[in-house]
Amino acid sequence: MKITVYIATSLDGFIARPDGDIEWLHNPDYVLEGEDMGYGALMESINCLVMGSGSYEKVRSFDIPWPYEKPVIVLSSRPQDIPAELASKISQMSGSPTEIVQSLKQKGVNHIYLDGGKTVQDFLSAGLVSELIITQIPILLGKGIPLFGPLPADIHLSHQQTRSYPNGMVQSHYLVQ
């Protein structure tokens, strides 16, 4: 199974402010007309998204319609509020990353887009992440929720590509070895 992390961080490695705020990502200076930075191709290649409950709640808080057409799996041990109109697109799972991957494999899933800080950390620690596509936003937050945390062992990466954009963003693609 291929598991891809596609995520943005501040230059100092945070995915959100300490309170979970991500408004800093919505700066109009970061928008490049006609450029999706590989997001469309990723979405075409995946079977589903897997995200933690915090990420799910954050996406639900946006004042926009549900943005995903692909199935979304929300990881949580407590029941999530899934509106009836999204019940065909969103489901909930709990268990270890290995158990979740095994269950999804049995359902025919072969490529996951993984999102959410704690979820990414847990799947990395379990040795399940295949690749990381990290876009650094040209801002220093100073403190916040880090993308990476403690690991049981070093994780070696193979650099595939780095692209810089005229708005100051830098996107790096790594394979996990």
Report the percentage of the chain scoring pLDDT > 70.
100
Instruction: Give the model confidence (pLDDT) of 89-107 as tens digits.
Output: 999 999 999 999 999 999 9
- CATH code of the domain covering residue 143: 3.40.430.10
Mapped to the 3 state alphabet, what secondary structure does the chain carry?
A: CEEEEEEEEECCCEEECCCCCCHHHHCHHHCCCCCCCCHHHHHHHCCEEEEEHHHHHHHHHCCCCCCCCCCEEEECCCCCCCCHHHCCCEEEECCCHHHHHHHHHHCCCCEEEEECHHHHHHHHHCCCCCEEEEEEECCCCCCCEECCCCCCCCCCEEEEEEEECCCCCEEEEEEEC
Give the model's confidence band at 158: pLDDT under 50 very low, under 70 low, under 90 confident, else very high. very high
pLDDT at 81: 87
* Domain that residue 107 falls in: 2-176
- Tell whether the model's pLDDT for residue 29 goes beyond 90: no
* pTM for this prediction: 0.95
Express as a percent the part of the chain with pLDDT over 90: 93
Tally of domains within the chain? 1
